[in-house]
Structure 1
């Protein structure tokens, strides 16, 4: 459900509020691109958490990125609020939470927001918006949910994700640092460590799939963040793989990682922001999904430009460059939309634990043997 009120305006300064995780912010980039196409002379600013700003690096649709801590203190609010207060003609809040709501209220006289459903806590927020879209956590993909915010403005949708970008000189420097990434070398990128344990595949499966790729003649490139636990996990995989194996965990920026993935033969990753990033590059992506609902959160396929969800709720499936591999268990509970079998972020998920690496090998063969 959404409001039908039409807004007739030509904003000169627009704020888009996207206070979520890395992948969530990347999924706002079609919205940002649509705004840029509709209002080429406007200033488009984005408010994000500091830890996610790198996913927007080099984005040509953005004039300024404003950051705030995930857990702001009084001093952070004192610094941020003057930057927002009545500085914009139009504010769009892509989430229905309290902070996006209050920031939009402060920032602009015209506001469009995702709002909670009518019978839930926070239903009243729509009364302070000039247009709104009810947040749908089950039936609408996140890209389409964001784009619906544009309906009251009467502007066309844009469907392509915009990944972080490097300048040509920066790409050359990256290749010089890592000669193994230079053609004709064929390589696969594995991103084994999601933010939450309940999205993890097993260490044994990562090692097995890495060895399979190596035997197929590919160099294995491992990616990951700078966190101590993540680096230890990635190193444990690298230690069990034949040389040459390239461990980039914590060694490259998101923009550099994008360039690495863009030249890969295949990318394999769980439900995490880097998998969404890989999808945006157009390379073949094998995405490992368990509890998460693919209708809402599947990677957005490259060149998929339809106003309909690309993926169904249940089953392994392919759309364009995305090969979604969904774990299953006898209970038939997948996707449960919950945080693993124990219902918390550090839980294991039986559906992913039982997803054997041999279920991926036919997909890998299909991808590597494609003309």
Structure 2
């Protein structure tokens, strides 16, 4: 490993939006260790939203999910040994190859199994990758051990003053003086979805507390249609902002909320990081690996256990109800039909009463200012 501080650093994260958010503690750790270094981040195009405005990042490099050969050649020319240090936060072939191209010193996590020796030869050092029993934030931060720097367990959510101002222009004036809850009803994949009847019951309960409800979502046509359908089943005062807000504007909306409720999705991770009382609805997903990271949680342990509804800090993780004795939850599978477009019984059988009880506990623990 280098004995002199690196001046140019590249972090590679070539997965989804939520993964990009969960690599920000590693980015913060590196930047705090070497504040004078230029730190660039390479991500898949469309996943960079959480890094826009991040003060730790000098430059964002985006690459298409499936780049053509011309784009590959252009990227090679841009990366080739331009960095003193390249950190791949994934064990994937693609991430490791990008790090190898870019860095004079190269580190990554690797699966310690047969067939990975070629990656070991490309790296200066590596740590064993644990995809089951180590939270993603902690897995990323294990790379700090190779660098000899202090891990920082802060998930960084960024926005700019213009984002807050533009959000206020989009909200009805009366919302500025009223408490509200954010409901994020649509995950990217069906197997993480709760049922519309549950969202309706929760919204009715919140309305009974004198709290407004706002729905969030992306501009994807299927998502907007689903959110609109759910909104029609909610109290008339509910506000549908799906497709109307940028990621940074969503952050500004969520950070002002009294409560956030959502499934295993990027916005739920964001709400937890912002310190908002967060109810996270989990079914087949492994909470040890993929739970939201509570605000100010120390990086020396996993926040959540594998089984059961549980609270850590500002996050209440509500686990779905499985078949029979419930021992199938979490199954780590993509729905009961083993397809991302299939439903998960554990979430379809999750009662609104259980979600309301979790929300009430969080609200009582964090009274309004």
Query: What TM bracket, shorter-length normalisation?
Result: over 0.9
Does structure 1 residue 137 correspond to structure 2 residue 131? Answer: yes
Does structure 1 residue 205 correspond to structure 2 residue 198? Answer: yes
Instruction: Map residues 309-348 of structure 1 onto 2, 5 A cutoff.
Output: 309-329=302-322, 330=324, 331-348=326-343
Does structure 1 residue 189 correspond to structure 2 residue 178? Answer: no
Q: Residue 231 of structure 1: SS of its match in structure 2? A: helix
Q: Residue 65 of structure 1: SS of its match in structure 2? A: strand
Q: Calculate the TM-score normalised by the size of structure 1.
A: 0.95
Residue number in structure 1 paired with 2:36: 41
Residues 166, 249 of structure 2: 8 Å contact kept: no
Residues 277, 363 of structure 2: 8 Å contact kept: no
Cα distance between partner residues in 2 of 1:243 and 1:97? 47
- More moved, 235-244 vs 316-325: 235-244
Instruction: Map residues 348-359 of structure 1 onto 2, 5 A cutoff.
Output: 348-359=343-354
Residue number in structure 1 paired with 2:140: 146
Residues 316, 362 of structure 2: 8 Å contact kept: no
Q: Tell me how far 1:180 sits from its aligned partner.
A: 5.1
Q: Residue 83 of structure 2: SS of its match in structure 1? A: coil
Q: Tell me how far 1:369 sits from its aligned partner.
A: 3.0
Does structure 1 residue 298 correspond to structure 2 residue 291? Answer: yes
Residues 139, 295 of structure 1: 8 Å contact kept: yes
Of 74, 99, 103, 2:69 maps to 74
- More moved, 158-167 vs 287-296: 158-167
Q: Tell me how far 1:31 sits from its aligned partner.
A: 0.4
Q: Tell me how far 1:87 sits from its aligned partner.
A: 0.8
Cα distance between partner residues in 1 of 2:30 and 2:140? 12
- More moved, 203-212 vs 138-147: 203-212
Q: Tell me how far 1:109 sits from its aligned partner.
A: 1.5
Does structure 1 residue 215 correspond to structure 2 residue 186? Answer: no
Cα offsets for 1:244-286 (capped at 9, x unmatched): 2111111010001000000101000000111111111100000
- More moved, 97-106 vs 126-135: 126-135
Q: Tell me how far 1:328 sits from its aligned partner.
A: 2.4
- More moved, 336-345 vs 289-298: 336-345
Residues 7, 152 of structure 1: 8 Å contact kept: no
Task: Give me the CA root mean square deviation.
Answer: 1.4
Cα distance between partner residues in 2 of 1:180 and 1:359? 33
Cα distance between partner residues in 2 of 1:49 and 1:320? 32
Residue number in structure 1 paired with 2:164: 171
Q: Tell me how far 1:22 sits from its aligned partner.
A: 0.7
Q: Calculate the TM-score normalised by the size of structure 2.
A: 0.95
Residue number in structure 1 paired with 2:122: 128
- Structure 1 unmatched runs, 5+: 1-5
Q: Tell me how far 1:76 sits from its aligned partner.
A: 2.0
Does structure 1 residue 282 correspond to structure 2 residue 275? Answer: yes
Residues 10, 87 of structure 2: 8 Å contact kept: yes
Cα distance between partner residues in 1 of 2:2 and 2:347? 46
Does structure 1 residue 155 correspond to structure 2 residue 149? Answer: yes
Residues 110, 130 of structure 1: 8 Å contact kept: yes
Instruction: Map residues 215-294 of structure 1 onto 2, 5 A cutoff.
Output: 215-294=208-287
Cα offsets for 1:139-158 (capped at 9, x unmatched): 10000100111112110011
Of 13, 28, 31, 1:18 maps to 13
Residues 163, 252 of structure 2: 8 Å contact kept: no
Q: Tell me how far 1:338 sits from its aligned partner.
A: 1.2
Residues 327, 334 of structure 1: 8 Å contact kept: yes
Residue number in structure 2 paired with 1:3: none
Cα offsets for 1:204-260 (capped at 9, x unmatched): 212221222122211111000011000000000111112221111110100010000
Cα distance between partner residues in 2 of 1:55 and 1:272? 13
Q: Residue 51 of structure 1: SS of its match in structure 2? A: coil
Cα distance between partner residues in 2 of 1:124 and 1:222? 47
Residue number in structure 2 paired with 1:95: 90
Q: Tell me how far 1:183 sits from its aligned partner.
A: 3.9
Residues 86, 105 of structure 2: 8 Å contact kept: yes
Cα distance between partner residues in 1 of 2:330 and 2:173? 38
